[in-house]
Chains A and B, each alone.
Chain A
Amino acid sequence: MKSAVIVFPGSNRDRDMFHAMELITGKRPEAVWHTETSLPDVDLVIVPGGFSYGDYLRSGAIAARSPILKDLVKKAEAGINVLGVCNGFQILTEAGLLPGALMRNAGLKFVCKEIMLETANDATRFSTAFKKGQIWRCPVAHHDGNYFADDDTLKAVEDNAQVVFRYAQGSNPNGSLNDIAGVMNTKGNVLGMMPHPENLVEDLNGGTDGRLLFESLLNKAA
């Protein structure tokens, strides 16, 4: 599977993503700088975590208007797989590729800890290696992860089974509506999630639960 990781000024989980992707797929992703105007020919584009543009204005707002995003939006609409993690999720909502918005955590604090996730939909290209209802460990590290959507949008997202991952019962770290941790677009080719599966992919780091997400994509591409 060929992949690319978009790097913005202020990205800081891009290296974790390169490492995880290389470890699991055997191929190192191409790095694409935010000023570039065209993405390479790949199966998956990843928008990594971090603090692009210092979170100025709103988290992800400036990155969502950077040159490379025009091509990302175009290719996403054409059906290429896109994964946004943490700041990447914020960028994809700001770019209009995903519904809703990510607001300041309800508790106002930056949360950096391990939480439990529940796979809500195992029939997506990002989650076939999970079982529906499967509870798994995953780290979170964010200040603006409080998922919000208006009533109509939220209903549509639930009715279309676009929620791929939820915070497991008692695990919601940020006040997200309906415990939403990861949501995809209606086509099912763009997923955004606040937790960091790329940070739990080898035993050395305490577990491999996060691998299942990347293995799902790999199965799909194979």
Chain B
Amino acid sequence: MKARVIVTLKNGVLDPQGKAIEGALGGLGFSDIGSVRQGKVFDLDLTSTDKAAAEAEVAQMCEKLLANTVIENYVIELL
């Protein structure tokens, strides 16, 4: 089973890198940008075949390592 984890900054957390990307896109002539936020994607290959167990395990991975829950949110997609 494959899982995809998407980690994004929480609302209200300043994202200087997103701001720089936003500026660069503006410089390339993309004028209709409200804002840009940068995040991370993790693709996991799991040996488990039990969907519920896999999701619970990936949630633990997010809590313990993949996301810093002080500043980041995560979403798990099982593929």
Which residues of A are interface residues toward B (Cβ below 8 A)?
57-58, 61, 65, 93-94, 100-101, 103-108, 146, 148-150, 153, 175
Q: Are A58 and B64 in contact (CB under 8 A)?
A: no
Flag if B16 contacts A104 (CB, 8 Å). Answer: yes
Cβ-defined contact, A101 with B65, below 8 A: no
Q: Are A65 and B16 in contact (CB under 8 A)?
A: no
- Top 3 A-B residue pairs of the complex, sorted by shortest distance between their CB atoms: A101-B70, A101-B71, A104-B16
B16–A106 touching, CB < 8 Å:
yes
What's the dominant secondary structure at chain A's contact region?
A: loop
A-B contact pairs, 17 of them (CB 8 A): A57-B65, A57-B66, A61-B68, A65-B65, A93-B70, A94-B68, A101-B70, A101-B71, A103-B14, A104-B16, A146-B14, A146-B16, A148-B70, A148-B71, A149-B70, A175-B14, A175-B16
Interface membership of B12, Cβ < 8 A: yes
Closest to A151 in B: B12
B61-79 to A contact mask, C-beta < 8 Å, 1/0: 0001110101100000000
Closest Cβ–Cβ distance, residue B8 to chain A (whole Å): 14
Chain A nearest CB, measured from B23 CB (Å) = 10
Q: Find out whether the CB atom of A105 lies under 8 angstroms from the CB atom of B70.
A: no
**In the complex, what's the smallest C-beta–C-beta distance from A58 to chain B, in angstroms?**
6
**CB of B44 closer than 8 Å to a CB of A:** no
Q: Chain B residues near A175 (CB, 8 Å)? A: 14, 16
Which B residues from 26 to 77 make CB contacts under 8 A with A?
A: 64-66, 68, 70-71
Cα of A106 to Cα of B16 in the assembled complex, Å: 6
Q: Which of A58, A94, A100 has the most CB of B within 10 A?
A: A58
- Give the residue of B16, B65, B71 whose beta carbon is less than 8 angstroms from that of A108: B16
Identify the interface centre among A103, A105, A107: most chain B CB within 10 Å of its CB: A103
Q: How far is the CB of B32 from chain A (nearest CB, A)?
A: 24
Using Cβ atoms and an 8 Å threshold, which residues of chain A touch B13?
103, 148
The answer, yes or no, to whether B20 is at the interface (CB within 8 Å) is yes
CB within 8 Å for A106 and B14 given contacts A101-B68, A101-B71: yes
> Quick one: which of A57, A100, A101, A107 contacts B16, CB cutoff 8 A?
A107
Q: Which residues of A contact B71 (CB under 8 A)?
A: 101, 103, 148
Q: What are the residues of chain A within 8 A of B12 when measuring CB–CB?
A: 150
